[in-house]
Chains A and B, each alone.
Chain A
Amino acid sequence: MSSIDVGVYVSDPNSLDSFIEMASKIGLIGLTTQNIDSGPIVKLENGLSLLRRTDVSGRGLNSIKKQIANVRKQSMIVAIPLTTVEIANWAAEDTRVDLLTLEPSREHRFRDSTARLAAFSGTCLEIQFEPILNSVGLNRSKIIKAFREAVKTATDAGMSVVISSGAKHPMQLRSAMAMRHIGLLIGMTSKYAETVVSKTPFEILERNQRRLSPDFVGEGVEILQRGGND
């Protein structure tokens, strides 16, 4: 089983090599970073793909709307943190947004209505497990509760879920098998957890590669052959 970690945060460009080394060791075939300059996707010699991820956040909806048009064509993954209902519902409906990131520490609840809108547009709910690694006892229990409730809401509405690490350090990365077990912990069935880890990230990647192609015009409209001058 192989996977792509779509939620890695490499804050220091110098530490990128250690993330790449760790990802290769545990069998990941792709990871995201904010610090690549040479396009939305870079394929390395060892077979690993580096994907550019952009987290769009702002004071209000207008600020996010202004940013998203600029970042979409330059990023393989566009994520928006789940904050107010207004932002969450807009992001869920907008096909340019790939992921709605759940932040368990925040007060904002993930609503059924948001999940239904996202199910229709193909936006996925992103669960980052890094907070579970860094907490114990009651705090961890609260985080797991928030994740389990969100996963239940998403799956009931038919919205896709994706599990990522949210790693800020290479040792916070986990293998595909490990992520599948974290899926079980947050209320997924074994088969669904496997899909979430080993299929959904690839589907997002494939969809975005198609969208970023110069032949893509709009959803369902593609240039198959360009006409000549004669």
Chain B
Amino acid sequence: MKKSRRRYLSFHLHSDGPTIDDEQQLGNAIWTNLLSLYGEISAADSKLYLVSYDCEKNEGVLQCTLSSLEKVITSAVLIGSIGKSLVSFEPKRTSGTIKGLRR
């Protein structure tokens, strides 16, 4: 089986209320939006994974397949709120490696 190519996305999550300290909550919000917008097969094929999330800086890194990168970004930017906080997801950079994001 051919290995799918991965992409990493760095992002900043702006929030007006209390900081989102539960990274699972953020991951779920992106998954839910991806599932709702593009369906179960696209969500499954995306291999979406929240690699890291810094609650203090509100910055993190997502991993997904190259073919689903646009869908994942679209799903994430359409998140309007998480819990009681209004949020704005800002995609920063994409790269094939985590190291590439830091350059």
Contacts and interface: CB of A to CB of B under 8 A. Distances in A.
Contacts of A190: 70
Contacts of B90: 25-26, 174-175, 177-178
Interface residues on B, range: 10 to 19
A184 B73 CA distance: 11
A178 B73 CA distance: 8
Contact of B74 (A136, A172, A175, A184): A184
Interface residues of A, number: 23
Contact of A172 (B15, B70, B88, B91): B88
B28 to A, nearest CB: 14
Which one of B14, B15, B16 has the highest number of Cβ atoms from chain A below 10 Å of its Cβ? B14
Contacts of B15: 171
B70 A22 contact: no
Interface in B67-82: 70, 73-74, 77-80
- Judged by DSSP, the binding face of A is helix
A134 B90 CA distance: 17
B89 interface: yes
A218 interface: no
Contact of B88 (A132, A171, A181, A185): A171
Contacts of A134: 80
Contacts of A172: 80, 86, 88
A166 B97 CA distance: 35
Contact of B91 (A25, A170, A175): A175
Given A140-B36, A178-B77, A181-B77, 4 more contacts: A177-B73, A177-B91, A182-B78, A185-B37
26 contacts: A22-B14, A26-B88, A133-B78, A133-B79, A133-B80, A134-B80, A136-B36, A169-B16, A170-B16, A170-B88, A171-B15, A171-B80, A171-B87, A171-B88, A172-B86, A172-B88, A173-B88, A174-B88, A174-B90, A175-B91, A178-B73, A181-B70, A181-B73, A185-B37, A185-B74, A190-B70
